[in-house]
Chain A
Amino acid sequence: MSLCHSYMPNYFSIDDILSSQERVSCKIEVKLPGLGYLDVSSESPDLQSGTKLDLPHWLAYPMNSRTHPFVSIEVPKIYKEAYREILTADACAVALNKWSCYFYEFGIHLAQYEHSDCNLIQDLLLQAFKSRFRLVMDWAHNTGTDPTVGLQLPILERKLFLTGRKSRCLLISWLKEGGGSIETSEMVANHKKRKRAELEDENT
């Protein structure tokens, strides 16, 4: 119902919660008493200094605070040298979704860590986004393509693709039929489809 179509992460946004679940390789720098259960390979009740763990970003980020860091992090390889070169060579040929569904979102989170590798992430994301924009828009404009092709894109591009595709479909249907027809509302149509599918399942 919002008038703003673009995605802006906020406290309640589901995609932001899911993207901040992506894991970062961490090394524990201080002893954390009572939290030994976080390391499944250890028997100790305390989390020992020096343990290497994969922690979700929502936990790793505040633990890596500038003033009292508990962990040091390692940037995931998809944002580092070898992968960066592949992206620079031809961003459009890469199936970014296979690298990470939250490639851009997680990259934006990573860019905020205090780490030398993180300074380069922002440029990497920007270059990738600009190069691939035309591809995403071409897919959206070509309504002949299968809509599930959007699943091959990471979340940020997928949202752009879906909005573009929706406005393109509206335009095409206006060009063909003109204005004025009232449609069944989307939620109602989906609900009926689901009901019919359930009935069919029951009958078989």
Chain B
Amino acid sequence: MDPNEVEFLGEKQLVTIIPSFTFNQIHLISGSIGPFRAGLPTQVPIWLAVNLKQQQKCRIVGQEWMDAKLLIDVKDEEKTSKFFTKMPSDHYMDETLMLLGVAPEDIPQAEEIRTIVKDLWDIRMSKLRTSVDAFMKSDSAFAKLDHLTPMEINCIRPSLPHALDQRDRIQTCGSRPRDSQDTQRS
């Protein structure tokens, strides 16, 4: 998977917007959106919010967790905990980049939030790398990590499964049945 595809999944999350137009409900395959009343907040998927904002047809209201103080608390908890803590949103990284990228003026303390989220991401990625290395050094067949978000899981893909496959190949090499390797096995 590449980050674009994870972001695509993240775009389905809902965000509150304040439209500057009025329109009836729209019925899409994925569900209904609207109705839109100018000035009244309504929830729409992020992909639609970004599109409307680019056409200057709405104002975006930041997610509830996009608050500098709350995020600093989350970051401190993550720093002190040995394991991964639960994030305010499963797509915290891509939502931040998308919403702050398209509407930095609509969301208060946008730059601060961006910095805190980046720090949080770096802390978690570093924990993840250490965890992966410990997993490889042990001989266990599986490991469990709670509260990882899809974007973080995507970062160790495909390296981790690839490396585990190679470790497995080396571990089982002595016990392969003897046969000629140049003959095609049907």
Residues of A within 8 A of B (CB): 5-8, 11, 16, 20, 58, 61-62, 65-66, 104, 107-109, 111-112, 118-119, 121-122, 125-126, 129-130, 133-134, 137, 140-141, 156, 159-160, 163-164, 167-168, 170-171, 174-175, 178-180
Contacts and interface: CB of A to CB of B under 8 A. Distances in A.
A5 B97 CA distance: 29
Nearest to B8: A179
B158 A163 contact: yes
Nearest to A122: B174
B24 interface: no
Interface string B122-164: 0000000100110011000000000000000011011101110
A156 B137 CA distance: 17
B172 to A, nearest CB: 9
B29 interface: no
Contact of B163 (A108, A119, A160, A179): A160
Given A62-B180, A179-B4, A163 B159 contact: yes
Contacts, number: 106
B176 A5 contact: no
Contacts of B180: 61-62
Nearest to B5: A179
B159 A160 contact: yes
Given A108-B169, A133-B133, A133-B137, A119 B162 contact: no
A170 B3 CA distance: 7
A6 B129 contact: no
Given A6-B165, A133-B136, A167-B158, A174 B3 contact: yes
Interface in B160-186: 161-163, 165-167, 169-171, 173-174, 176, 178, 180-182, 184-185
B90 interface: no
B178 A167 contact: no
B72 to A, nearest CB: 21
Interface residues of B, number: 36
A178 B166 contact: no
The interface residues of chain A, by DSSP majority, are classed as helix
B67 interface: no
Contacts of B7: 174, 178-179
Nearest to A140: B159
Given A62-B182, A156-B166, 9 more contacts: A6-B161, A58-B181, A61-B180, A107-B173, A108-B170, A125-B173, A129-B170, A133-B137, A180-B4
Given A11-B185, A163-B159, A170 B2 contact: yes
B35 interface: no
A106 to B, nearest CB: 11
A61 B136 CA distance: 31
Most buried by A among B132, B162, B184: B162
